[in-house]
Amino acid sequence: MPKAAAPDTTPPAPGRATPALRHTAASLRRAAAALRHGPLMASALGRTGLGLAGLALLFAVLGPVVATHQPDTVDLGAKLHAPDGEHWFGTDQFGRDQFARLTAGARRSLLAAFTVLAGSCTVSLVVGVVAGLARGFADAVLMRVVDIVLAIPSLVLALAVVGVLGPGFGNLLLALVISSWAANARIVRAFTLAVRDRPYIAAARLGGAGPARIAVGHVLPAVVPRLLVVATLQLGGTIVSLAGLSFLGLGAQPPTAELGAMLGDARAFVTVAPWLLAAPTTVVLVVTAAATLVGDAVRDATHHSAVEEVHP
Amino acid sequence: MRSLAFRFRCPELAKESAMASPDRPASAFGGRFRNPLSRLLSRRTTRRPTDRTGDRTNGRATGQAGLAVASVAALAVLATGCGSGGDSAAKPAGAAAEKPLTIYNSYSIAGLDPVGTGTNWLFDWGVAENLMEAGEDGVVRPWLAQSVTQGSPTEWRITLRPGMTFQNGRPVDAEAVNRALTRQIARSKAVRTYLAEGSTVRTTGPLDLVLTTPAPNAAVPAALAARDTSLQIYDTEAVEAAGGYSAKIVNAGAFTGPYAVTAWTPDLLKLARYDKYWAGRPKLPSVTVKVVPDEQARIAGVQSGEAQLAFYPSPDAALTLAGRTDSVLRTSPKALQALLIDMNLTAAPFDDARVRRAFARAIDYRELGEDVAKGSFATATGLYPEGYPYAAATQHTDFAEANRLLDEAGWAKGKDGVRGKDGKRLTVRFVTQAQGPETNALAVVIKSEVAKAGFDLQIVNAEDSARTKADLGAWEASIGLNGSLSGTADPIQPFRARWTTGGSANAQKLSDPRVDALGDRLLTTTDQAAREQLLREGQAILSDREAYVIAATYKQFAVVAGGDWTGYQVSNVRRHLRFDTAP
Amino acid sequence: MTSRAATAAPGGGPAAPGAVPRALRSARAAGHPIARRLLSVPVTVAGAALLIWALLPLAPGDPARMTLTAQGVPEPTPDQLAATRAELGLDRAPAEQFGHWVVRALHGDLGTSYQSGRPVLTELGERLPATLRLGSAALLFALAIAVPLALVAAAFRRRWPDTLARALALLGAALPGFVVGLILIQLVVVQGGFGSVVLDGTWAAVWMPALCLAFGMFDVWSRLLRGALVDAMDSGWAASVIARGTGSRRLLLRHALPNALPPLIHAVAVSAGALWGGAAILETVFTWPGAGSYVVSSVKARDLPVIQAFAVLATLAYVAASLLADLLAALVDPRLRGDCAKGV
């Protein structure tokens, strides 16, 4: 039994102030401890993941500062230049600097993925917590809707939504939220069911707290950290989905620099300018590998506490 | 122990099987974006053996596992079996490869009834013909007609070539031509833009007709030649028998061209030689035109030998095909198509002539013509490509003047280089066409050019640009092909339709009495020199003084050719398939 | 990624003792789980159909006009429009329209493509065999990679083959299939001069896109299977099997593998749904003449009846696959099959 999880094994006595705060603090302590001692740093893969994630973030955040060119500036005298001292990652068919475009693209893709996850988590929190707390008819109806949405393969659903709304980056983000909330809603409901009968929540209920107060003050603080773990696992997939649909021309429109759109542009030049393909491919690879490794490690790190919460 | 184990298991099974159907990745992309819960739940199943203390059932389990593997395999075989059943249907492209000429084209093929719009493709592929044609030099000359002469300001005498037949064998005589023209004048909206209501046709001999217009109309020869007027000559009985359904016009032999339609769907056209074609026996036994929307696929199709010609390559093709011998980029000798930029005149910022002029000066026409795609474009100097006698130089690049005009108009440069006025940024939503990849390539470069004068160009890539532009609140400027010029050599109809008040293609709401007056005079002026002078005056107002509209660049027609067809001569005027077209 | 972590079941976890009686009661009330599962299928499919159908009226544009334009009637008269509207049932109340659509769909009529003017099912039907070929080949490839990888990883746990398998799985998870496709086209076709850029949809050409599609699936499967194998081998009964002198290879193949199969079967079913989306992208990359690339071009052209029909087909295929997986898993796992039936 990891030490970090110990505090949580003794639930606060009923009636004591701010159990939710205590719980959140415990979660944070646990996460911090996990980061220091847990598998995230302990395992080589976790360290690699963190390293890659740091690299990717650095590239997305600092890249645009370091870049010597603007991502959209056209220089037709420098078309399809191979990587050199002037253009570190070469240039495309408009003579645009690929390094500048790649950092801008990485930033945009990462932000978009976080936006999709935030949207998906928000919707799923509302639906999942309401279903888990309400039980009965509302639960049955909500979960039936979730079942139905889940029965449509999600990328197919995303394609259909883009088909109705029309191609565009905003529409694509919306489509991905629509096609991903349902699975998370089911997870949130399971989390809610696991905590709703905890002694301190039961006590709050007895103490006269309304459903809204219980949901926001007691259930959410317990559920959100776990949902974040799940969301970390989904980050890589979201980036890949975004890139894939943008690659097809359904997302970012020209001349926007975005990883998928850049891959799509590179397709025509695969013979004459392979670097146009290589650079965005590497970025996608690093970002998704980092997300996968970190996601796995975070899951490993939080696993024991999760089990203990279920078996107090 | 056993019963306890069972009590642990069964509720879970019930729960799990109720969930199992939607148990799948949250956003499945090639199996990724997994729903962790589903994985975790599934794995729990495997943990169950931990509860067990014996392995009595393991032999049985193994047997069943074998069965499971066999079932999975059987399933796969079943699926693949289904696949091979439909084998022949799955490769329409492969089957077409036996044909002597296969063309991959980008746009879907609209209907076959010339009364509808969008039948100008009938010229492209040698199916239908007009009484007159625009030659490769842009000059209008007789085609099915032997001569067209003006009898009086309102009367045009037409004499047909003798001995012509429709593809179904019926004669192309004055009566048949009369019926076709009369039906088109009565029912085609496209014709109406050339020939006013009340235009009549009467037969005066076996091969002679007279076309009478209610008022003097100088555009009649152009109308008879125009690609877009739809004054095609066809067997009206054969077309009317189809009742408006294009599929029934197939094989009716309703047209006069060297190739007859033997199969039609909007994405596949099959043509067969018409042996008794009036100008000579067509060189190819049959032609297939297949719609392949993806440009890379069209070009790759030529490289793999499935097709011999791929139409509508993007400007990138010149770069990607450099050094190849199996597929070459062929371009037409002349650049007769202009890519025009028009501005939304109903709202800021382009309701101000100074801003429009600044925009026109801020575009580097030389860069667009020479550097974007060498060999595909030519530098624009005015609305009409050089070579047309009425072309006038009305455009030039001058960044200093652009900046001065914008300063004058009150648009001040902001910190990020974008100008603003009264808290509003100088943003230009620039509509391009998804169908025309060159509009997007040009827009990317134009964005970079006009940024130097402080414009913030935002590209709106529209699937249907006409629909996007119908909402005047949704765009500030747009770029598109002035395609009419290429197949018509007639500047008058496009002039009136695009730039006079209430014109059918006047999306920018241009309304200028001087331009309207020029448009009216053009319609009635038959003297060549006088007409050219009117057109030059028009250009001075349109693209210089008021800068309502400018030409971004002129475009050559480009085709990717492969196989035996690498010497293919590309037409200036989109006559892709003539009777003597051959490798 | 370790085996113990993989068994973490948030919330619904290994049933807490206190929860069992209630859950058991509800399970009994619901009748046999498989029966219940079968009953839920029509409801789910009908709901999904309603959801997909509802996309069409939401979209701008007049379906009657678009249908007529596609049929080669570019400027339809008001009479023609009215007739087509009646034919499509657009003049009725929404609920009635949906019923109408369902009845037609049950008769195999999912509408007319705006682009081609042909029945959507004919269009998709022509392209479906190529997609099924691609999908089944990809499933087989993924199994052929995932199962040996997981067996090797489980047999050499925490040694270099395990690490290698893990790295491969990571690569599979991190590199999108369409990027693999672009790289393969560049290396194999363009530089190696092997194969072709435009594929004709036959078995001979299927390996390259199928491999890329499999690339997106095998990582999940191999990690899942490895975890399950390791769990099984760590369990108490495995120790007793070893105690009776069973060799480790026999333990892995004859005892652990069968117990690890049900989750894999579920994962395969899940992928059968995901395949439809993945195929859409990969078919475009390889210009594979299947339903996926067709639907991508339909999305760009807003050809809604095609998108609708594709979504319905994908949903049906997916629901059928997961139902089949449930039955198969019940068949494979003796504990799931017999005991519950007796217990209820």
Instruction: Answer whether residue C154 is part of any domain.
Output: yes
Tokens of B511: 């309304």
Q: What's the pLDDT at C9?
A: 35
Residue C320 gets which letter from DSSP?
A: H
pLDDT at C334 over 80: no
Whether residues C261 and B85 touch (CB distance < 8 A) is answered with no
pLDDT reading at B400 higher than 90 = yes
Contacts of C10 in chain A (CB under 8 A): 187, 190-191, 194, 226, 230, 306
Helix (H, G, I), strand (E, B) or coil at A268: helix
Contacts of A236 in chain B (CB under 8 A): 32-33
Q: Is A173's pLDDT higher than 90? A: yes
Three-class SS of residue B104? strand
Which residues of C fall within a CB distance of 8 Å from A191?
A: 10-11
From the list B452, B342, B341, the residue with the least C-alpha distance to B399 is B452
**A245: nearest CA partner in chain B:** B29
Task: Enter the DSSP assignment of C187.
Answer: I
Residues C50 and C198 in one domain: no
pLDDT at B517: 95
| Of A221, C268, C158, A244, nearest in space to B27 by CA | A244
In chain C, the residue whose alpha carbon lies closest to the alpha carbon of A280 is C179
Domain count, chain C: 2
Q: Is the pLDDT of residue B66 over 80?
A: no
Tokens of B38: 């589903």
Average pLDDT over residues B275-302: 87
pLDDT 10s digits, C283-293 = 988 888 899 98
Query: CB-CB: which of B23, B25, B448 is closest to A73?
Result: B448
> In the prediction, which pLDDT does A31 show?
64
Reduced to 3 states (helix: H, G, I; strand: E, B; else coil), residue B329 is strand
At position B204, the amino acid (one-letter code) is T
User: Do C224 and C264 contact (CB within 8 A), yes or no?
Assistant: yes
Q: Are residues C78 and C135 in the same domain?
A: no
Supply the mean pLDDT for chain A: 82
| pLDDT tens per residue, range B149-200 | 988 889 999 999 999 999 999 999 999 999 999 999 888 777 777 788 889 9
Asked whether residue B16 carries a pLDDT value surpassing 60, the answer given is no
Using the predicted structure, report yes or no on whether residue A212 has a pLDDT greater than 50: yes
Question: Which residues in chain B have their CB less than 8 angstroms from residue C227's CB?
Answer: 43, 46
Tokens, residue C32: 């046999």
* C111 is a domain residue: no
Residue at C7 is within a domain: no
Nearest CA in chain A to C299: A163
pLDDT tens readout for residues B569-580: 998 888 899 999
A252 burial (CB, 10 Å; 0-12 / 13-18 / 19+) is buried
Residue appearing with tokens 């790759």: B300
pLDDT of residue B114: 85
Residues C91 and C148 in one domain: no
Between C222 and C64, name the one with better pLDDT: C222
User: Do strands B101-105 and B309-311 pair parallel, antiparallel, or not at all (unpaired)?
Assistant: parallel
> CB–CB of C296/A244 below 8 Å?
no
pLDDT at C70: 60
Spatial distance between the Cα atoms of A207 and A13, rounded to a whole number of angstroms: 13
Q: Which CA distances in Å does B390 have to B254, B382, B458, C210?
A: 38, 10, 34, 58
Q: How far is Cα B409 from Cα B406, in angstroms, rounded to an integer?
A: 5
Is C17 within the bounds of a domain? no
Q: Looking at the domain assignment, is residue C76 inside a domain?
A: yes
Residues of B in contact with C135 (CB under 8 A): 79
Give the model confidence (pLDDT) of B330-387 as tens digits: 998 888 888 999 999 999 899 999 999 999 999 999 999 988 887 789 999 999 888 7
Same structural domain, C98 and C41: yes
Tokens encoding B333: 């000798």
pLDDT in tens, B224-239: 887 766 788 999 999 9
For residue B348, give the nearest of B444, B421, B417 by alpha carbon.
B421
| Same domain membership, residue C86 and residue C172 | no
Determine the distance in angstroms separating the CA of A58 from the nearest CA of chain B, rounded to an integer: 24
Task: Give the C-alpha separation, B560 to B328, whole Å.
Answer: 6
pLDDT score recorded for residue B15:
36
With a cut of 80, say whether residue B64 has pLDDT above it: no
- Cβ–Cβ below 8 Å for B320 and A269: yes
CA B444 to chain centroid, in Å, comes to: 20
Query: Which of the four pLDDT bands, split at 50, 70 and 90, describes residue B468?
Result: confident
- For residue A173, give both structure tokens: 């983000």
Are C46 and C174 in a shared domain? no
Contacting residues of B for C237, CB less than 8 Å apart: 49-50, 52-55
With respect to residue C15, please indicate whether it lies within any of the assigned structural domains.
no
Q: Are the CB atoms for A184 and C10 separated by under 8 Å?
A: no
- Say if residue B82's pLDDT is above 90: no
Q: What is the mean pLDDT of residues A292-307?
A: 68
Query: End of a domain among C75, C106, C137?
Result: C106
pLDDT tens, A105-118?
Answer: 999 999 999 999 99
Distance CA C73, CA B244 (A): 6
C58 and C146, same domain (yes or no): no
- Establish if C318 touches chain B: CB-CB under 8 angstroms: yes
Closest Cβ opposite residue B32 in set C13, C15, C173:
C173
pLDDT confidence band for B19 (50 / 70 / 90): very low
> In whole angstroms, what is the distance from residue B228 CA to residue B485 CA?
10
What is residue B349's predicted lDDT score, i.e. its pLDDT? 93
Tell whether C94 and C195 lie within a shared domain. Answer: no
Instruction: For residue C78, name the pLDDT band (cuts at 50, 70, 90).
Output: confident
Domain range for C53: 28-106
What fold is seen in the domain A39-65+90-310?
MetI-like fold (1.10.3720)
What pLDDT does B343 receive?
Answer: 94
Q: Name which of B10-14, B138-142, C297-301 the model is least confident about.
A: B10-14
Cα distance between residue A20 and residue A30, in whole Å: 15
Does A266 contact C182 at a Cβ distance shorter than 8 Å? yes
Whether C291 and C187 share a structural domain? yes
CB contacts under 8 A, A 49-78 vs B, are 72-74, 76-77
Measure the CA dihedral B349/B350/B351/B354, to 10°. Answer: 90
C220 vs B435, higher pLDDT:
C220
Residues C97 and C138 in one domain: no
Distance, CA of C48 to CA of C55 (rounded, Å): 11
pLDDT tens-digit map of C235-270: 777 777 777 777 777 778 777 888 888 888 888 888
Q: What is the mean pLDDT of chain B?
A: 79
Neighbours of chain C (3+ CB pairs under 8 A): A, B
**C221 in a structural domain:** yes
Rounded percentage of chain B residues whose pLDDT exceeds 70: 80
The predicted model gives A186-211 an average pLDDT of 87
The residue from C74, C106, C138 where one domain ends is C106
Angle, in degrees to the nearest 10, between helices C291-300 and C304-332: 140
- Tokens describing residue C169: 């799985």
Which tokens in the block code for residue A272? 């004459």
Provide mean pLDDT across the span C181-207: 78
pLDDT value for B174: 95
B269: three-class secondary structure by DSSP: strand
CATH of the domain at C174: 1.10.3720.10
Say yes or no: C168 and C310 in one domain. Answer: yes
What is the model's pLDDT at position B156?
Answer: 94
What pLDDT score was predicted for residue B38? 38
Residues from chain B contacting residue A271 (CB–CB below 8 Å): 320
Least confident range of A50-64, B205-219, B483-497, C322-336:
B483-497
Per-residue pLDDT, averaged over B131-137, amounts to 87
ipTM score:
0.80
Q: Do B320 and A272 touch (CB under 8 A)?
A: yes
- The tens digit of pLDDT for each residue in C132-161 reads 999 999 999 999 999 999 999 888 888 888
pLDDT band with cut points at 50, 70 and 90 for residue C88: confident
**C192 in contact with A, Cβ within 8 Å:** no
For residue B319, pLDDT over 50 is answered with yes
Is the pLDDT score of A287 beyond 60?
A: yes
Would residue C114 count as lying in a domain? no
B199 to chain A, any CB pair closer than 8 A? The answer is no
Q: What is the mean pLDDT of residues A50-66?
A: 88
Closest CA to C194 of C203, C202, C205: C205
Percentage of residues in chain A having pLDDT higher than 90: 30
Report H helices in chain A: 19-36, 39-42, 44-66, 98-134, 136-151, 154-165, 169-196, 199-206, 211-214, 220-247, 259-266, 275-310
Q: What is the pLDDT of residue C198?
A: 66
Q: At how many degrees (to 10) do helices B58-85 and C257-285 cross?
A: 20
pLDDT at residue C60 in the model: 65
Chain segment B490-511, per-residue pLDDT in tens: 788 788 888 999 887 788 999 9
pLDDT tens per residue across span A24-57: 667 667 666 655 655 556 677 788 888 998 998 8
- Looking at the structure, do residues C179 and C313 belong to the same domain, yes or no? yes
Contact C298, C116 (CB under 8 A): no
Last residue of a domain, one of C106, C139, C164: C106
Residue B280: CB atoms within 10 Å: 10
User: What is the predicted pLDDT for the residue at B172?
Assistant: 95
Lowest mean pLDDT among A134-138, B63-67, B420-424, C169-173: B63-67
Strands B101-105 and B286-291: parallel
Q: What is the mean pLDDT of chain C?
A: 77
Contacts of B9 in chain C (CB under 8 A): 335-336, 339-340
Chain C, 115 to 174: residues with Cβ < 8 Å from chain B are: 115-118, 125-130, 132-133, 135-137, 139-140, 142-143, 173
Are C175 and A274 an interchain contact pair (Cβ–Cβ within 8 Å)?
Answer: no
